[in-house]
Amino acid sequence: MLERTEWEVVLTLAEELHFGRTAERLHLAPSQVSRVVKSLERRVGAALFVRSSRSVALTSIGARLVRDLAPHVRGIEDAVRNAMESGRSPRGTLRVAFVGAAAGQQLLKAAALFGGRHPGCEVRIHEAQVHDGVPRLLAGEVDVLITVLPVRGVRVGPVLLSEPQLLAVPPRHPLAGRRSVTREVYGDHPVVRLPDTMPEESRLHRVPAETPAGRPVRRGPQGSTFAEILTLVASGQGVFPVGEHAARFYPRPDVSYVPVADAPPVDWAPVWLETNESGALRAFVECAAETAS
C-alpha cells in the first residue's frame, strides 16, 4: 500500500518544506524526493504538496494525510525497536522454574550472576514438581525450566550437572546392604513410577520397560512429587533410582541409597521452548552454564 520510502519522504518533506534538506536527511538525491512525491501523488490521485521552485506547501489533503500517518509510523517504529531489544538485550522479566533441590541450587547461582550482569531484567523463580515441570513450560507459564534430561520437543541448554544414579530403598530392604546394584534388580523389586504427565521418553530413560536381561520391570505405585516418591520408597512400596545429590539434599532415616552401576548418569540442564527464545533467555542460559563449570 505505502512504501517505506514514501512515508519517510512525505513526513520529512512536510517538516522541512524543502526538497534539498529532505533529501539530505534521508540520504537521497533531491531528484529522488521529487520522483517519490510525484509517484505517490499519482497513486493517491491528489496533490499532497504545492510547490514552485521557490516554495513548498502542504495541500489540505497532504496535511491531513501527514496528520493521520505520523502517529502510526511512530507506532510501527516503536514496535520494531521493541522487538529488536527483546531479541538482543535482556529486558522485562524472565520466569525460570526448577525441579528438585539440586536444580534449585544451580538456579540460584545462575540467577545471582544474571542479576548482577543484567540489572534491567527481573528473574522470577518458581519451584516445579516432577509432574508439572514440563507441562508448565509447554503451557507458557515459565520461560525456562531446569530439569532432568532427556526432554523432547524443546530446546536444551548445556548440561549443568551430571551425577551417577543411586537406588533409593528402605533401610531394611534386601538391597540396602549391597555395595552396588544393576538395573537387573528392577525385575525383582517394584519400581515407583514417575507421573505420566512426564513425557514417556523421559520416564523410560530413568526406568526402562525391561531389565538388561529382557525381563519386564515390575511396576510399583505412582508418585507425583519427589517427596511423595521418597515416602513411597520409605514405606516399602517400591524402589526408585535418583541422582546422587538426593543422598545429600534429602537425607532421611527411612531411606538408604545404593549405587546403580549400569545406569547412565542423571543430567540436569535448562530447557525452553524455541518460541520463547529471547535475549534475556539466552543470557540466562549462558550464566547458568558459567556457574556450572
Distance CA 236, CA 217 (A): 17
Rounded to the nearest whole angstrom, what is the least distance from the CB of residue 118 to its own copies in the complex?
Answer: 16
Non-local (6+) Cβ contacts of 128 within 8 A are: 97, 98, 99, 136, 142, 145, 147
Tell me how many residues contact DNA (CB under 7 A).
25
For Cα atoms 182, 185, 188, give the angle at the middle one, nearest 5 degrees: 175
CA 20 distance to own-chain centroid: 49
Q: What are phi and psi of 239, to 5 degrees?
A: -110, 170
Identity of residue 213: A
Rounded to the nearest whole angstrom, what is the least distance from the CB of residue 165 to DNA in the complex?
Answer: 30
Among its own copies, DNA, none, partner that 29 touches (CB below 5 to 8 angstroms by kind): DNA
Is the Cβ of residue 52 or residue 275 nearer to DNA in the bound state?
52
- Examine residue 275 and tell whether it contacts DNA (CB under 7 A): no
Rounded to the nearest whole angstrom, what is the least distance from the CB of residue 202 to its own copies in the complex?
Answer: 21
Distance CA 228, CA 171 (A): 17
Rounded to the nearest whole angstrom, what is the least distance from the CB of residue 88 to its own copies in the complex?
Answer: 5
Distance CA 265, CA 146 (A): 16
Closest C-alpha to 207, from 249, 240, 162: 240
Rounded to the nearest whole angstrom, what is the least distance from the CB of residue 278 to DNA in the complex?
Answer: 19
Among DNA, its own copies, none, partner that 283 touches (CB below 5 to 8 angstroms by kind): none
Rounded to the nearest whole angstrom, what is the least distance from the CB of residue 8 to its own copies in the complex?
Answer: 8
Q: Which stretch binds DNA (CB under 7 A): 19-27, 90-98, 206-214, 262-270?
A: 19-27
Work out which of 11, 24, 25, 30 binds DNA, going by CB under 7 A: 30
Work out which of 25, 51, 91, 189 binds DNA, going by CB under 7 A: 51
Among its own copies, DNA, none, partner that 181 touches (CB below 5 to 8 angstroms by kind): none
Distance CA 114, CA 124 (A): 12
Task: Decide if 221 contacts 144 (C-beta within 8 A).
Answer: no
**Residues from 152 through 211 that contact its own copies (CB under 8 A):** none
Q: List contacts with DNA (CB under 7 A).
A: 3, 5, 18-20, 23, 27-39, 51-56
